[in-house]
Amino acid sequence: MRKPLFALLTLALVAPLAQAHTAGDIILRAGAITVDPQESSSDIWVGALNTDVAGTKATLNSDTQLGLNFAYMLTSHVGIELLAATPFSHDVGVQGMPGVFAGLNGKLGELKHLPPTLSAVYYPMQSSSAFQPYLGLGINYTAFFDEELSSEAEAKGFKGLDMENSWGVAYQVGMDYMLTENLMLNGQVRYIDIDTTGTTSFGGKEVKVDVEVDPLVYMVGLGYKF
């Protein structure tokens, strides 16, 4: 028990001596990344009723996948970073549907998405500091695919599910802590502006809803500087 504790204390003492990011560094980070939608939606348009149904809304659940960051330092304070991940999967739900549609309250279907995000990042600390907080601002493109209705929705006569892809702004705060000259701990939080429109059909009539997904994105992992 003493040896692991001693190793951790030694690492913590040695780490501040390690030089952090400088111009030309390439950084690869990997870890667990969670997309947590903070969704809000319009009322659902039901073509068969020719109206928006008051009190209805769409929902999305959270998902965790493998996250990857690729960063290049332009200077010791400024870098560019690309966020990537394995595909996220989400259940699509609805609430407040009336009458013949009431059975769909809950899960409507499911989808996958990829949210590649390119950001400029700023590190205010000197490169001699082992602790490197940073801020980022970037552009996100979210691609939705593999949209599928639930078997319950299909049994009720609904057909097809489509989600529009999205462009939006992404904001980021994060930190690296250098464990060695090359190895670091990383934590980051993003807010991503994702707006989409979901469409299906019932009785040959369109059913549609606008959704502001706007997730908080959390990632914790390790990084390596080349």
pLDDT of residue 15: 47
Token pair 């259940």 is at which residue? 91
pLDDT of residue 18: 55
The CA-atom distances, in angstroms, between 46 and each of 8, 188, 205 are 60, 40, 8
Token readout for 94 is 């609805």
pLDDT of residue 107: 80
Query: What CATH number does the domain located at 2-225 have?
Result: 2.40.160.20
Mean pLDDT per block of 10 residues along the chain (226 residues) reads 51 54 95 96 87 88 97 96 97 82 78 97 93 97 95 85 96 96 96 95 88 96 96
pLDDT of residue 9: 47
Domain segments of the chain as ranges: 2-225
| 3-class DSSP string for 22-77 | CCCCEEEEEEEEEEECCCEECCEEECCCCEEECCCEEEECCEEEEEEEEEEECCCC
Token pair 């030309």 is at which residue? 24
- DSSP β-bridge partners for residue 203: none
pLDDT of residue 13: 47
